[in-house]
Amino acid sequence: MSLVLFIVNPIAGKRNKFLVIREIKHFCAKNNIDYDIFYTTGNRTDSYEYIKKHFDKDLKAVVAVGGDGTINEVAKAIVNTNVPLLIIPKGSGNGMARHLRMLLPTKDILPALINGRIIDYDVGYLNDQIFLCNAGFGFDAYLANYYSHHTMRKFLPYIFAGIKALISYKPHRYTLKLQVESSNVIFIPFLLTFANINQYGYGITINPKARTDDGKLDVAIFRPFKWYNVPHIVFLFLRKQLDKSKFHTIIRISSCNIESRTKEFYHIDGEPFESIDTVFNIRVEKGALHCLLPKKSNYI
């Protein structure tokens, strides 16, 4: 009998996972599904190692129960394999679930293990780290690090963290090297995001037309602005329409290099990291991941 692995982040979104686990156990027992449940510990490699230990078995699917960071850790183990990923979104921003239109109750997601459809999903790389949603430098990386120290993972605290971070953040200089350009672009962006999906999470849009099956990444560049522009930018942020700002530009790429003058904070699917390098290669691998979608997802 094939095996389904459930990887559960018990603190994602700060929600109690008891009811979710109960639904999982009930569904698997009712449908005669062999399964195992693993709880993450906060170590960024524990999910990877656990999944890899089960590759000698017939894996039917791996299910990530948590937010975008949890999903990223699970996906590392099954990229470029035939094992599909199913997500049960229980995080804060839930960017990937919102993009795939499956911000649904658990009871509507679990049947995908029986009758779901599989789609090919592009995987981004920042050097050797994968990202499924987006990777970023500048203000969003600064904010990800700032927000990681907050205990409340809701939209309202995210707004307050954003306003406080906005006051203290100072943009840095980057050199962007595009394959399609004959010369380098040297600029000092307020925000620089390499996006695989259409949003940052919470429904805050980067590019409404972004797709995860086209072999492209959207480079979202938010140019520096004056203090008197802040109220309008905050207004767009609250309305989840940052993509409509006049300071916002999108460039579509399949790969590029970026250089910074100093070591920088960056984020991978919302998880902050401090770099040990000043040169980064960003690329996308088309269809490297297979995702299971439930029938109630109307993602096309």
| All structural domains of the chain | 3-122+288-293 (3.40.50.10330), 130-286 (2.60.200.40)
Segment 105-163, tens digit of pLDDT: 999 999 999 999 999 999 999 999 999 999 998 888 888 777 666 555 566 666 666 66
pTM: 0.90
Helices (H), 155-273: 155-168, 230-238
CA-to-CA distance for 223 and 163, rounded, in angstroms? 17
Those residues of the chain that have pLDDT short of 70 are 1, 13-15, 147-165, 167, 176-184, 186
Q: In 10 A of CB 78, how many CB atoms?
A: 22
Q: What is the pLDDT of residue 42?
A: 82
CA-to-CA distance for 91 and 70, rounded, in angstroms? 8
Give the alpha-carbon dihedral of 239, 243, 244, 247, to 10 degrees: 120
Segment 189-213, tens digit of pLDDT: 888 899 999 998 888 888 888 999 9
**Beta 255-260 vs 271-274: how paired, if at all?**
unpaired
Separation in Å, CA 152 to CA 11, 14, 159, 278, 289: 11, 7, 12, 32, 31
